[in-house]
Amino acid sequence: ISEMFFPGDNSRPEVVDHRNKYKCAAGNTWKIIETMLKPPVVRDTQTGEARSGHSYWGIVHRAVQMETPPDLLRYIVETNAQDLTKVDAHGNLPLHYAAMVKPPTSSETTIISGHFPAFYTKYVVDELLYKFPEAASMTNAAGKYPLELAISTGKQWIGGGIKSLYDAYPQALEHIDLQEHASLKRALSMGREASDVPNGQADNTDAAENVDEKKEDGEEGADNTLSAEERLLRRVTSNASNNGDGIIKDEQHDAIMLVQQPNVDISEVTTSMWAHEEDPGVQLLGCIAITKLLQKDINDPPSSLRIALSATASVVNAMKAHPNEMIVQEKACGALKLLAPADSRREVSMVASGAVAAIVAAMQAHVGDANVQQEACAAIAAIVQHGGGDRATVVASVSGVTAILNAIAAHPQEKNVQKEGCHALLQLTDFANTASLPELPRTQTEPLLTQAKESFPDECGQMVDTLMGRIS
């Protein structure tokens, strides 16, 4: 329920009641999260007495050991920063666990399903290093650096966070015998002379690398029964073969390739977006991939909801990370339009996620771009259509009505902008009796609507006639 203030009035009773229920629900949700992350209870074999599995445990230590949703992990790290510097009963920092953790495996899992999303570990490692980069230079109780742990568990060079750990503390490499890690040596020497490889351990690894690439491309020695998607996933996922030398070779462009796979899972798309949030190309292609997945499942509400649960926050994060990239804003608004039907279902919220504010911000920042304005107006219309007066109030509270009028005024000859702008205004004013909306002054609004009707009578005429009866 959105707030509606009037001069001299306090919050409406229903708003106060809803706020209290929300606070209670949020508190209970957090308690559930803490309970799920708490170490299992163990019983003394002699007395049968129950006790905690660890004398000290931190919520961050536990969260990095399982596939915690990226946005939730970021919240946990930001609100429990004190855990980043604390060692648990086993002498490990959270970064040590992130470096050594492996996804659960089973004899029944396949290379497609038996792994964390390809770039999940990179995202976790980067989040921890951003808050506490010194952790990369600290050993655990066994005297191991995070870089050593990551290499020993057979992670990817980029997707598994090894490159991030190396960049944060390259001195840890002195404790690793590169003669046992040919793939690591190749990764370190890319674009460098052989003499620059740490420890002076240089050898001819080009032939081995070429053989690997030929196998990946389906030449002699490759498993030709695998599809292109399966071969890519074999290379970039933690469950893949690591050639026996401790790391898995992957490339910087693998994320871009992965999100473009025709049958890619939504978890791979959203995790790639979070792990490469600084890369506008990954964000752009991620938003396009989400749109395609939603279009494919448009008549399957449960499947669409599954996508929305992780995609909404990922798309909004892309918009916040690249506010000046018009194409990212355009494709993100297009994705949010299709995500709107899931609003208020389960944990999906176009308000709490910041989607409404991000859409209006895109409109304000790119008034001159017709494509951004068209997709943004369409997204606002969809959100209000499915969210009702509550969402209409939120749109108005972040200057959404003004942004729509500015879009119509800035692109008088763009049919789609005029059509989507009028549609958005129509959806907003449909809830004039239940939403807190600003008045639409006739002197400013009427000329814009009249021009839209005259220029595009088939697309805008009927909507304009209805709107004319609603403006003051």
pLDDT at 9 over 60: no
Q: Once rounded to an integer, what is the mean pLDDT over residues 83-107?
A: 83
Q: How confident is the model at residue 44 (pLDDT cuts 50, 70, 90)?
A: low
pLDDT of residue 49: 64
Which range has the worst mean pLDDT, 212-221, 268-277, 387-396? 212-221
pLDDT of residue 107: 40
Q: Once rounded to an integer, what is the mean pLDDT over residues 321-333?
A: 97
Q: How confident is the model at residue 455 (pLDDT cuts 50, 70, 90)?
A: very high
Q: How confident is the model at residue 150 (pLDDT cuts 50, 70, 90)?
A: very high
Strands 155-156 and 247-248: parallel
pLDDT of residue 24: 81
pLDDT at 218 over 80: no
Type of residue at 61: H
Tell me the C-alpha distance between 70 and 75, whole Å: 9
Mapped onto helix, strand or coil, the DSSP state of residue 183 is: helix
Structure tokens at 32: 């559930």
pLDDT at 269 over 60: yes
Tell me the C-alpha distance between 406 and 125, whole Å: 43
Q: Once rounded to an integer, what is the mean pLDDT over residues 433-460?
A: 92
Q: Between these two residues, 18 and 183, which has the higher pLDDT value?
A: 183
- Tens digit of each residue's pLDDT (9 = 90 or more) over 221-262: 445 565 555 555 555 444 444 444 555 556 667 888 999 998
Type of residue at 62: R
Q: How confident is the model at residue 166 (pLDDT cuts 50, 70, 90)?
A: very high
pLDDT of residue 39: 75
Tell me the C-alpha distance between 21 and 232, whole Å: 46
Which range has the worst mean pLDDT, 39-48, 242-251, 458-467? 242-251
Q: Which of 106, 21, 33 is nearest to 68 (CA)?
A: 33
pLDDT at 121 over 50: yes
Q: Which of 382, 269, 264 is nearest to 317 (CA)?
A: 269
Tell me the C-alpha distance between 166 and 36, whole Å: 32
Q: Once rounded to an integer, what is the mean pLDDT over residues 342-347?
A: 92
pLDDT at 264 over 60: yes
Q: Once rounded to an integer, what is the mean pLDDT over residues 91-96?
A: 95
Q: Once rounded to an integer, what is the mean pLDDT over residues 285-292?
A: 97
pLDDT of residue 419: 98
Strands 41-43 and 50-52: antiparallel
pLDDT of residue 234: 52
Enter the pTM of the model: 0.81
Q: Between these two residues, 387 and 47, which has the higher pLDDT value?
A: 387
Computed over every residue of the chain, the mean pLDDT equals: 83
- Tens digit of each residue's pLDDT (9 = 90 or more) over 167-206: 999 999 999 888 887 777 777 776 343 334 444 444 444 4
pLDDT at 359 over 60: yes
pLDDT of residue 177: 84
Q: 10's torsion region: left (phi>0), alpha (psi -120 to 50) or beta?
A: beta
pLDDT at 436 over 80: yes
pLDDT at 317 over 50: yes
pLDDT of residue 429: 95
Sole residue written with tokens 């009035």: 9
Q: Between these two residues, 172 and 41, which has the higher pLDDT value?
A: 172
pLDDT at 108 over 80: no
Structure tokens at 299: 């008549």
Q: Once rounded to an integer, what is the mean pLDDT over residues 304-330?
A: 97
Q: 396: number of CA atoms within 13 Å, CB side?
A: 23
Tell me the C-alpha distance between 145 and 96, whole Å: 7
- Tens digit of each residue's pLDDT (9 = 90 or more) over 26-39: 777 778 888 878 87
pLDDT at 70 over 70: yes
pLDDT of residue 191: 39
Name the most confidently modeled range: 84-88, 102-106, 109-113: 84-88
Mapped onto helix, strand or coil, the DSSP state of residue 448 is: helix
pLDDT at 67 over 90: no
Share of the chain above pLDDT 90, in %: 57
